[in-house]
Amino acid sequence: MRYTTQDVHDKVKKLLYSLTGITLSDNKDIMISNRIDKLKRNCRYSGDIMDLLISIEQGNYVTEFINSFTTNKTHFFREDFHFVDLKDRVLPSFANSGTKINMYCSASSTGEEPYSMAMTILKAIEDLGRNINASIIATDIDTNVLQYAADGIYRYSKSSKEFPEWIKPQKYFKRRVQKNLAGEEVLIKVNDELKKMITFHVMNLNDSSYPFSQNQFDVIFCRNVLIYFSAEDQNKILKKLFKHLKIGGTLYLGHSENPQDLVHYVKRVGQNIFVKEKEIT
């Protein structure tokens, strides 16, 4: 049976939506072509691409497909004003009360975001001179990036501007120099104090429900992931997440995202920073 490149791309989009809820726009054709090559490498597959996609549709190579087509753009302290708000507004009350703070990081990718959350907690402890009992659950649909995050080893450049002035990376990472064909590269490894705060799990934000209890979290980071979903599905995800956020808890969204229908149930306290005021009725 003959088919066109567009037929393949349409099949990929349909499969990706059915498995993850992620919507790919029409301007993603070059990206799709590149990811198809990645998919075939991941599956060690040299046959007909449409046959492979049909096999995925039948339940084979699903993990490899998801890992090939998810986007994992992230870095430490991305949109750092959210971490400043966490440090200066949210965390002091937990240091004062001694109450444990439960935090959730959705779409945690290779781990930079939850580790930034953990560094912010340690910095607040240092500044306030009081302990903060904290735990972070971090999830992603991509098993490869979750393993990368759990390993906690990153390339580092002195010219990097990922870390804000109030964070000293040497306090939170072990540094080592590794020689390779290109010369030397500096690797930094997350220390155990950060790692023990975070639990990584595989989870699909498009699932009908989440494995958390109602009002479990004091803080939810859901940043720069909703943009990959349709407006309708964004709204559904936000409402599901909202059930797990406590009254008075904080929701952080990405710079191009908005709270959709939740706008009636939250108070905006900063740039894409929202405090839950009441439950959805």
In terms of Cβ atoms closer than 10 Å to its own Cβ (0-12, 13-18, 19+), residue 55 is: middle
As a whole number of angstroms, the distance between CA 33 and CA 6 comes to: 10
Separation of CA 69 from chain center? 15
As a whole number of angstroms, the distance between CA 82 and CA 70 comes to: 24
Residue 172: CB atoms within 10 Å: 21
- The residue from 2, 10, 29, 35 that is catalytic is 35
| 35 catalytic residue (yes or no) | yes
Structural contact between residues 101 and 219, judged by C-beta atoms closer than 8 angstroms: yes
Alpha carbon separation from 245 to 36, 82, 120, 215, 254 (Å, rounded): 38, 17, 20, 5, 17
| 48 catalytic residue (yes or no) | no
Residue 172 sits at φ, ψ, to 5 deg, of -120, -5
In terms of Cβ atoms closer than 10 Å to its own Cβ (0-12, 13-18, 19+), residue 18 is: exposed
- The residue from 85, 88, 140, 218 that is catalytic is 140
Torsion of CA 232, 236, 238, 244, to 10 degrees: 180
Catalytic positions, please?
A: 35, 140
